[in-house]
Every structure is written in structure tokens, then in C-alpha cells.
Amino acid sequence: MIHVREHAILPLMNDRTLLRVCGVLFCALAVSNFAKFLEFDAHQGFMLFGMRQHGTPNLVYGWLFGLYLLIYGIGVLQMRAYALSMGRFYAGYVILNLMLFTIRMPAEAFARPIFGLVYIIVAVGVSSGVVSLLARNRASLM
């Protein structure tokens, strides 16, 4: 059974609709990771444990995490049980990666503080929020 929120910020969206939107966003993020190896600018590249990757590692890790996010996004869209475990891992990775980024690359991390703060809120909020929604709707997962 999909829960409908009565007193939420988005009262017109039920959990299933919100999960669909997030599933599509994770698939789009996967496409972005697949393209990380193109490195259009020096501040692009896959971020692994707080360090920006370049060259072959950027290609390999970008594609591996892109594939992970694609499988996860499809799992969220299709309400698959495996998506909950993948989401827990990903939410933990996001938090760890952000913490290590501020420690290992402080000049870049604090260069645009407003952007950084918004990015942290969105990244942690979405990755953890999807896990919360999946857990709340565990009975509906296939």
C-alpha cells in the first residue's frame, strides 16, 4: 500500500509519485556519471571518496557508479526490494564523500559556500529521503 501524506510540504504527491520522480533523477545522474570522463573543465570529473578523478580512473569509476545509479534508479522506478539496500549504501556514500571532499579538497569545497550548502542539502536530502520513502513503503516493494 502506497502512503499518501496529508500534512507534508508536497501534499498533492503520494510516495509513489515522489519515488518515480527520484528514480528518473537517479537515472539522469547515471547518464551524467557516464559522461564524467569527457572532462569539459578542470573542475569536472568523478568524485571518489572526496578526491576528483581524472584520466582512466575517472572513466572507470564514472562508468561503474553510473551503472550502479542506473540499476538503482530503475529499481526505485519499479519499486524493487533491492533498491532499499542500494539506497542505504548510496546515502551513506554520499555523506562520506561530502565529508571527505571538505577535508581533502577544502579550497574547492569552500570556494562557493552558498552553492556548496545547497548541494549538501539536496544531495543528502534526496539520497536519504528516497531510502526513507522506500522503507516506509516496504510492503509494496517487489
Query: In whole angstroms, what is the distance from residue 43 CA to residue 57 CA?
Result: 15
In a domain, 1, yes or no: no
Say what the pTM is: 0.83
What's the domain range around 109? Answer: 15-140
In a domain, 85, yes or no: yes
* pLDDT at residue 95, as a whole number: 97
Say how many C-beta atoms besides its own lie within 10 A of residue 110's C-beta.
Answer: 10
* pLDDT at residue 9, as a whole number: 55
Interhelix angle for 55-77 vs 82-104, to 10°? 140
* pLDDT at residue 48, as a whole number: 84
* pLDDT at residue 31, as a whole number: 94
| Alpha-carbon torsion (131, 114, 53, 37), positive or negative | positive
In a domain, 136, yes or no: yes
* pLDDT at residue 79, as a whole number: 93
In a domain, 108, yes or no: yes
Report in angstroms the alpha-carbon separations of 139 from 3, 46, 132, 134, 142: 11, 35, 13, 9, 8
* pLDDT at residue 68, as a whole number: 98
What are phi and psi for residue 13, nearest 5 degrees? -105, 130
List, for the chain, all residue ranges whose pLDDT scores fall below the cut of 70.
1-12, 39-43
* pLDDT at residue 111, as a whole number: 87
Write out the three cell numbers for 102: 571538505
Give the number of domains in the chain.
1
* pLDDT at residue 139, as a whole number: 87
In a domain, 9, yes or no: no
* pLDDT at residue 129, as a whole number: 95
Beta 47-48 vs 51-52: how paired, if at all? antiparallel
What per-residue string of b and e applies to 40-77 under the rule 16 or more CB within 10 Å gives b? eeeebbbbbebebbeeeebbebbbebbebbbbbbebbb
